[in-house]
Amino acid sequence: MVQVLLVDDHAMVRQGLRSVLETYDDLHIIAEARDGAEAVKLVGDLRPRVVVMDINMPRMNGIDATTHIKTHWPETTVIGISVNTGDHNSDLMKRAGAAIVLPKDSAVDQLHDAIVQEIDVSADNLTQPTDH
């Protein structure tokens, strides 16, 4: 079962994502965070496999939080969500280490598939033989 941390400054967004993701047997929402600083602390404490991270939040935004998480826990997959995925912030989020950035309005429909796909991709990368 894949452990997931939801990070968004809007409680209704977190609740909506949780209600959809909890319908899948292969995912378990282990916690929620209201901002990037809380997300970083929870990743350190709980070590989720996946973090669903909003970009624009108070205190610490998703870009800074993703950079911190990927630096300290590179095995953690971060999936960004944003109101506007065509903006500069989406590019910054990917450079920070997010595997993918989804638009919030379709995140509910695409999130499970994105999580499963990114977990498979990172597992493949971990098991690839290295040429010496």
What's the token pair of residue 50?
Answer: 């996946």
Full-model pTM? 0.89
Evaluate whether residue 121 is within a structural domain. Answer: no
What pLDDT shows up at residue 83?
Answer: 84
Evaluate whether residue 123 is within a structural domain. Answer: no
Evaluate whether residue 25 is within a structural domain. Answer: yes
Q: Does residue 36 sit in helix, strand or coil?
A: helix
Evaluate whether residue 67 is within a structural domain. Answer: yes
Work out the average pLDDT over 9-15: 94
Q: Residue 33 sits in a domain of what CATH number?
A: 3.40.50.2300
What's the token pair of residue 47?
Answer: 């070590």
Of residues 20 and 131, more confidence is placed in 20
What's the token pair of residue 75?
Answer: 């095995």
- Structural domain that includes position 9: 1-47+55-73+89-101
Q: Given a cut of 90, is residue 110 above it in pLDDT?
A: no
Number of independent structural domains in the chain: 1
Evaluate whether residue 113 is within a structural domain. Answer: no
Give the closest residue to 30 by CA, choosing from 52, 59, 54, 57. 52
Evaluate whether residue 80 is within a structural domain. Answer: no
